[in-house]
Amino acid sequence: MRERRLSVLLSLAIILILNTPAFCEDSELVKNFKNARVLNDEKEMVAVIAGNREKIPAEVAVLLDQATAPGVTEEDKRGNFYIAELIATIYKDQFGDPQLLRGVKIRYYDTLLSPPVRPTPAGGVYMVEMPAPTETAKNLFKPDNIIIKKGETVKFVNNDVSKHILASVPFIGETGLFSSDMETGHIWEHKFEKPGAYYYFCFIHRSMLGKITVEDTEAAPAPAGGQPSGGTPAK
């Protein structure tokens, strides 16, 4: 009896917390979904999604915008991504459409990466390093978010003391990366023939995340400042 009362009180507390407007007021639909989630009422969760097919993508878009808005707290960010992923998962199961869930995952992974950079390839090859650990950082790809062009090659170099295995993140973006075991000093290179976004992670250290965006262009970009002659010779 007492446990029951306690669990009801706990549920109510969580409802109150989840319903506290943090950044933006939730829509009626999201409120209903969150309440069903708190009560562990799976039937109701599915009903909210199944009965609102047309509305769901826009609702998820709002959740994602809130999650990535400037100044959002880490807690609100996580909470919104969690609810968005849950809604998109049920949406996928109900309507057989995985695109919404892909979109949620991509937006989430992008928040974990550094802003994208366009490094200068050395001899036509880019390098992504797994550096030796420092006091503040370990198990990472550096740089972790680069933009290259179709047909270019990236060399992944393990300068770390640990073994890493590089693999495509399943389900989102282009797949097909798999390095197998990379011991210290090991180099694995991959030529990117197909344009698209390649998300990859370490099979052993799952929080190690990287992204390669392959642009559908083979031409060198025009120099921003209108570089005169004497620049790099054409390949």
Contact footprint for Cu ion (CB under 5 A): 164, 202, 204-205
Select 39 or 204, whichever has its Cβ closest to Cu ion. 204
Which residue lies nearest Cu ion, judged by its C-beta? 202
Q: What's the CA angle centered on 3, arms 42 and 34, to 5 degrees?
A: 30
Select 149 or 164, whichever has its Cβ closest to Cu ion. 164
CB of 76 to Cu ion, least distance (A): 30
Q: What is the CA radius of gyration of the chain?
A: 22
- Distance, in Å, from the CA atom of 34 to the CA atom of 20, rounded to the nearest integer, reads 12
CB of 208 to Cu ion, least distance (A): 5
Q: Which residues pair with 165 in a beta bridge?
A: 181
Select 173 or 210, whichever has its Cβ closest to Cu ion. 210
Q: Confirm if 188 and 166 have CB atoms less than 8 A apart.
A: yes
Select 155 or 205, whichever has its Cβ closest to Cu ion. 205
CB of 104 to Cu ion, least distance (A): 25
| CA distances to 58, 60, 119, 141 from 111, in Å | 20, 16, 20, 15
74-95 and 42-50 helices cross at what angle (nearest 10)? 70
CB of 202 to Cu ion, least distance (A): 3
CB of 138 to Cu ion, least distance (A): 10
Select 92 or 186, whichever has its Cβ closest to Cu ion. 186
Residue ranges of alpha helices (H) inside the chain are 2-19, 28-38, 42-50, 56-67, 74-95, 99-112
DSSP 105: H
